Amino acid sequence: MDPFNIIITSHGEKVDLNIHPQEAGSYKVVCHGGLVGEIFMSKSGSWEAVSADDLDSGGYPIYEYDETSGHADLLLDELVVQDIGKQISDIEGL
């Protein structure tokens, strides 16, 4: 499947994300052209995320954080992860 875009709210700010479906059923999450992490549905049915620091980037540039970006902990916020997952489910028909 082709990549698609979603918009989430993190820390009261709208953030555009590009979602890249992977063959294994997971989704790479890209923000401002850099890989933030990967999200997948666990066996229990909830969405879980892995930081880009813990992944093989697979050719994606890693997102460069700075103090002003506000996205360093994007996939550490459980509510944000579930919001991303819900939007993916809606788009993918999961």
What confidence score (pLDDT) does residue 12 get? 83
More confident residue, 31 or 85: 85
- 16-68, pLDDT tens digit by residue? 999 999 988 899 998 888 888 899 999 998 999 988 777 765 666 555 544 44
User: Rounded to whole angstroms, how far apart are CA atoms 44 and 14?
Assistant: 29
Integer CA distances (angstroms), 59 to 48, 51, 64, in order: 22, 15, 15
Q: Which residues contact 24 (CB under 8 A, 6 or more apart)?
A: 40
Q: Which domain covers residue 21, as residue numbers?
A: 4-92
Number of domains in the chain: 1
**Model pTM above 0.75:** yes
